[in-house]
Chain A
Amino acid sequence: MDWQAFALSLRLATVTTAILLAIAVPLAALIVLGRGRWLAAVEALATLPMVLPPTVLGFFLLVLLGPRTAFGRGIAAMLGHPLAFSFDGLVVGSVIYSLPFAVQPLVAGFASVDTALVDAARLLGAGPVRLVSSILLPLARRSLLAAVVLSFLHTIGEFGVVLMLGGDIPGATRTLSIVLYDQVENFDYAAAGHTALLLLGLSALALAAVYATSQKRGRAGSA
């Protein structure tokens, strides 16, 4: 087991999930609470990363973030280093790649909240921030949890984008999924088996723990 890669994957998934929540909660609220046809276009756009094969998405990002575009040069000037082949680059790639997995559960959760409650809160003078923090998020807890879990796991298992954008640098861009792929491609099936088994085992434990706590909270809340 490559613990350095394991730690890197955890760090990448944590940072990505935090950023995704900061983006996806307001975006989902906008899609559900807002009016206008353009919101359908926003939702479509936020779902689009699922369509592209991940390596192709990674290739487009490699080109977009590279020094041959003004955008890429601007980011490199801001950060002081190019994005490709760096941890920051993987974060950008992962946020785009996992965006649908954060937005979709939240949109579904927010949309299932009783509109009477939302209208009542509005009449009582709640602004959009209050609406989201006091009404939508508490009532759509399970969806929030689903968004966190899916974003996190999708980033842990992310492969194509990292392969394209990462450059396989130990400690910076060599994630556990890359190590696992390398082990398989190098015919090191025993090591691959161990890595995969450990990853699956740890994930199962973590997921069970998360779901167990959330169920308790759910019962306490409804009582």
Chain B
Amino acid sequence: MPKQFLAALFACLSLASLNAQTPLRVAAAADLEPVLPPILVQFESSTGIHAEATYQSSATLTAQIENGAPFDVFLSADLGFPKRLIDAGLADGKAVANGMDVTHENFPITYARGTLVLWSRKDAQLPPPSLDLLRSPALKRLAIANPDRAPYGRAAVAALHRLDLYDALKPRLVTAENIAQAAQFVDSANADAGLISLTSALTPRLSADGSYFVIPRDLYPPIEQGAVIVSNTKQRAAAHKLLDFLLSPAVQAELAKSGLTPVK
């Protein structure tokens, strides 16, 4: 009896996996978590391709892909990590299908640019976010993302250096694992302000709790977000369709609303 049951179960499971179309697996940088889900829904309704995203830091996703994680597309929060995969022969940025973009095979496809903002809670006993807030002695703790690997953390440190504030603020910096955690440090009022992504600052939760100031773009190198196709993919056509879709004017406009700067 148990044997028959197991056999039946096994049959069901294998049928289920035969019937279900393998989804397009997208490895997506954590800053896309507030942005990507509705875009993937639209993608499915316009192409019939079901895509599933995994959100992690770009560094973690890179290490996973290096070790054979079954992703088809990697949407990084920078260009360095996807370039690393290309150089290792594990991914490529081959030209997008319908000739919309002329891209170099050996370079990631830039699909958006990130914006760095200074964010603080509205009820903090501090002046509203501005460059002056960064100079204020009332700022006791400033949260940033890990500058060793989080692109926004790198941008934050570059901006502080450009403002000649890095050495003065260094003892007051608290480093979070990623942008989302940096935002949590500030939203829980444990840090006074944070240098985070505009995508985070525009989420319903954070826009209700606080306000942001856009850090002038000339203060940090552009946060270019690059995409690559994982070489082992069995769904290259679908992967190209997704990149095309991301670069289409409608979706680029949507990215702009969520806090990413369009590249088109």
Are A and B associated in one complex?
yes
How far apart sit A67 and B192, CA to CA, in the bound complex (Å)? 11
Contact indicator A85/B174 (Cβ below 8 Å): yes
| Contact B146–A62 (Cβ < 8 Å) | no
Interface residues of A in 149-168 (CB under 8 A from B): 163-164, 167-168
Q: Is B258 an interface residue (CB 8 A)?
A: no
B248 at interface by CB-CB < 8 Å? no
User: Quick check: is A66 within 8 A (CB to CB) of the other chain?
Assistant: yes
Which of A139-147, A180-188, A198-206 sits within the interface?
A180-188
Taking the closest CB of chain B, its distance from the CB of A119, in whole angstroms, is 49
Is A63 an interface position by the 8 A CB rule? yes
Confirm or deny: A169 has a beta carbon within 8 angstroms of a beta carbon on chain B: yes
CB closest chain-B residue, reference A167: B174
Interface size class of A (residues with CB under 8 A): 20 to 34
Say if the beta carbon of A68 comes within 8 Å of chain B.
yes
Closest CB in chain B relative to A155 CB, distance in Å: 20
Q: In angstroms, how far is the closest chain A Cβ from the Cβ of B5?
A: 32
- CB-based contact A185/B149 at 8 Å: yes
Instruction: Say yes or no: B189 contacts A66, CB within 8 Å.
Output: yes
In chain A, residues 26-80, which have Cβ atoms closer than 8 Å to a Cβ of chain B? 59, 62-63, 65-68
Residues of chain A lying within 8 A (CB to CB) of residue B143: 167
Q: Are A59 and B63 in contact (CB under 8 A)?
A: no
Q: Which residues of the partner chain A approach B175 to less than 8 Å between Cβ atoms?
A: 167-169
What mask results when residues 78 to 90 of chain A are scored 1 for a CB within 8 Å of chain B, else 0?
Answer: 0000101100000
Cα distance, A216 to B181, chains bound together (Å): 49
Chain B stretch 104-162: residues in CB contact (< 8 A) with chain A = 141, 143, 146, 148-149
User: A167 with B188: in contact, given A182-B148, A185-B149, A187-B63 (CB under 8 Å)?
Assistant: no
B199 in contact (CB, < 8 A): no
Report the separation of the CA atoms of residues A185 and B63 in the bound assembly, to the nearest whole angstrom.
8
Contacts A63-B188, A168-B175, A186-B148 given; 14 further ones with Cβ under 8 A?
A62-B184, A62-B188, A62-B190, A66-B190, A84-B188, A167-B185, A167-B191, A168-B174, A168-B176, A169-B174, A182-B148, A185-B57, A185-B59, A187-B59
Q: Can you sample 22 A-B contacts with CB below 8 Å?
A: A62-B184, A62-B185, A62-B190, A63-B188, A82-B190, A84-B188, A85-B190, A163-B177, A167-B143, A167-B185, A167-B191, A168-B176, A169-B174, A169-B175, A182-B146, A185-B59, A185-B60, A185-B63, A185-B148, A185-B149, A187-B62, A187-B63
Binding site for B on A (CB under 8 A): 59, 62-63, 65-68, 82, 84-85, 163-164, 167-169, 182, 184-187
